[in-house]
């Protein structure tokens, strides 16, 4: 059983003034008043550091019930008891610069590191790769960060790596493939940013992360392709590629990601079709492709995605036809074709879909008619 405790942090008293020597320091102090000046105990049991290299940082510590108060522990003991560190409470004046980022040396028990909005750093202190217990690493909105440590793969216990809105990252190191425990990887941009415009490729070692369940690459606007090794990700359930505008095709190996349930490809304007291997995705439920303005057609093999329930093709303005095999998608519930302006006809096989609840054909200005089989006994199914 563990309990949350508080600690005091201040700048190292090392004789060197180099920023590399800033670290968590022994905070046992005979003066309780002085200790209170250096940290503020928050209502949730965390501590917000008030001075030194970690000023503004929030920390959470765990210690055994039968231990003394953490404030009286020797340096080595309390350091290894820090389990979470977050910069979300820092104001701008407290954020680290390219030369002031402290060392994380000795934080052997750290499990979660959140470096939110450290927008002045261009690289990370190499000591991060020595945090062997780390399971969650969040480096979000670090807008000037251009690279990750080459040895990032040493974080063998890491399960989540989030680089959302760290939009200047130019490359991902090959060692990322050594993160065998990783289940979620997020690179790119959110609705709060314009996205990453410099990352052009991902390493082939991506396919070595065989525990990956979710891969989010939204707004990687310069990304030209996915590595063929992506097919090794047998446990991958979600892949998100929204606004990957330079992506012209998906590798055929995507069909080997047999656990995929959701594929988000909205605004992938360079895509003209999908690989024939798409039909191997027997667990695919949601295929989301709105505003894929270069999409011309879908392969016949799409009809083999037997669990597909939602197909979103809104604003695919060059989509010329749907495959007749779409009538094999017996689990399909919704089909959105609104503003598919050159789509001239719908396959008659759509009428055979027993679970179809809605088909949206609003603003399909070239559509000549609706198959009678769609209208029989299903009033209101077509939205036009």
How much is the pLDDT for 223? 98
- What's this model's pTM, rounded to 2 decimal places? 0.86
How much is the pLDDT for 99? 72
Q: Per DSSP, what are the bridge partners of residue 64?
A: 2
The closest of 263, 259, 256 to 241, measured between CA atoms, is 263
> Is 195 within 8 Å of 188 (Cβ atoms)?
yes
Q: Per DSSP, what are the bridge partners of residue 250?
A: none
Residue whose pair of structure tokens reads 């949730």 in the numeric block: 44
Cα(187)–Cα(195) distance, rounded to whole angstroms?
Answer: 9
Q: Regarding beta strands 112-114 and 82-86, do their DSSP bridges make them parallel or antiparallel, or are they unpaired?
A: parallel
Residue whose pair of structure tokens reads 């290299």 in the numeric block: 53
How much is the pLDDT for 9? 37
Q: Is the Cα dihedral 31, 33, 38, 43 positive or negative?
A: positive
3-state secondary structure of 348: helix
How much is the pLDDT for 369? 87
CA 292 vs CA 4, 124, 189, 200, 317: distances in Å:
49, 36, 18, 20, 8
3-state secondary structure of 120: strand
How many CB atoms lie under 10 A from the CB of residue 68? Answer: 12
> Is 263 within 8 Å of 239 (Cβ atoms)?
yes
The closest of 23, 2, 5 to 14, measured between CA atoms, is 23
Tens-binned pLDDT, residue by residue, of the chain (384 aa): 333 333 333 322 233 333 433 445 433 333 433 433 344 444 455 667 666 677 777 778 764 443 445 444 444 455 677 899 999 888 888 888 877 688 898 888 999 999 999 999 999 999 999 999 999 999 999 999 999 999 999 999 999 999 999 999 999 999 999 999 999 999 999 999 999 999 999 999 999 999 999 999 999 999 999 999 999 999 999 999 999 999 999 999 999 999 999 999 999 999 999 999 999 999 999 999 999 999 999 999 999 999 999 999 999 999 999 999 999 999 999 999 999 999 999 999 998 899 999 999 999 999 988 888 887 767 678 888
Q: Detail the DSSP E strand segments found in the chain.
A: 2-5, 39-41, 47-49, 58-64, 82-86, 112-114, 136-138, 160-164, 184-188, 214-216, 238-240, 262-264, 286-288, 310-312, 334-336, 358-360, 382-383
How much is the pLDDT for 29? 37
Cα(195)–Cα(204) distance, rounded to whole angstroms?
Answer: 23
> Is 210 within 8 Å of 183 (Cβ atoms)?
no
Instruction: Compute the chain's Rg from CA coordinates.
Output: 26
Residue whose pair of structure tokens reads 């495959």 in the numeric block: 323
Domains of the chain, start order? 264-384 (3.80.10.10)
CB within 8 Å of 136: residues ≥ 6 apart = 111, 112, 113, 114, 158, 159, 160, 162
């Amino acid at each position: 059983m563990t309990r949350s405790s508080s600690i005091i942090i201040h700048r190292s008293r090392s004789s060197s003034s180099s920023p590399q020597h800033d670290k968590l320091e022994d905070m046992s102090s005979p003066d309780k008043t002085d200790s209170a000046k250096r940290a503020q105990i928050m209502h949730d049991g965390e501590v917000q550091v008030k001075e030194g290299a970690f000023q503004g940082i929030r920390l959470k510590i765990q210690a055994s019930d039968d231990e003394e108060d953490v404030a009286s522990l020797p340096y080595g003991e309390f350091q290894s008891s820090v389990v979470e560190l977050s910069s979300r409470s820092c104001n701008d004046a407290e954020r680290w610069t390219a030369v002031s980022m402290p060392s994380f040396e000795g934080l052997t028990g750290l499990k979660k590191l959140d470096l939110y909005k450290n927008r002045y750093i261009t690289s990370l202190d190499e000591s991060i790769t020595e945090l062997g217990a780390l399971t969650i690493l969040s480096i979000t909105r670090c807008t000037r960060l251009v690279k990750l440590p080459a040895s990032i793969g040493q974080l063998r216990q890491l399960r989540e790596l989030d680089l959302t809105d760290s939009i200047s990252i130019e490359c991902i190191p090959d060692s990322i493939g050594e993160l065998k425990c990783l289940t979620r990887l997020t690179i790119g941009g959110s609705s709060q940013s314009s996205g990453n415009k410099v990352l052009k490729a991902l390493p082939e070692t991506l396919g070595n992360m065989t525990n990956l369940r979710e891969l989010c690459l939204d707004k990687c606007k310069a990304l030209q392709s996915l590595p063929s090794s992506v097919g090794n990700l047998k446990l991958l359930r979600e892949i998100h590629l929204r606004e990957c505008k330079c992506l012209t095709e998906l590798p055929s190996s995507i069909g080997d990601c047999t656990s995929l349930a959701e594929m988000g490809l909205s605004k992938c304007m360079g895509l003209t079709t999908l690989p024939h291997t798409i039909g191997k995705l027997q667990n695919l439920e949601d295929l989301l492709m709105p505003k894929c303005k270069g999409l011309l057609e879908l392969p016949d093999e799409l009809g083999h995605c037997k669990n597909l329930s939602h197909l979103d093709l809104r604003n695919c303005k060059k989509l010329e036809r749907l495959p007749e095999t779409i009538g094999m998608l017996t689990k399909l519930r919704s089909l959105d074709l609104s503003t598919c302006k050159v789509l001239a006809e719908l396959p008659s096989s759509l009428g055979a879909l027993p679970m179809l609840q809605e088909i949206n054909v609003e603003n399909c200005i070239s559509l000549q008619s609706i198959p009678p089989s769609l209208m029989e006994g299903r009033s209101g199914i077509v939205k036009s």
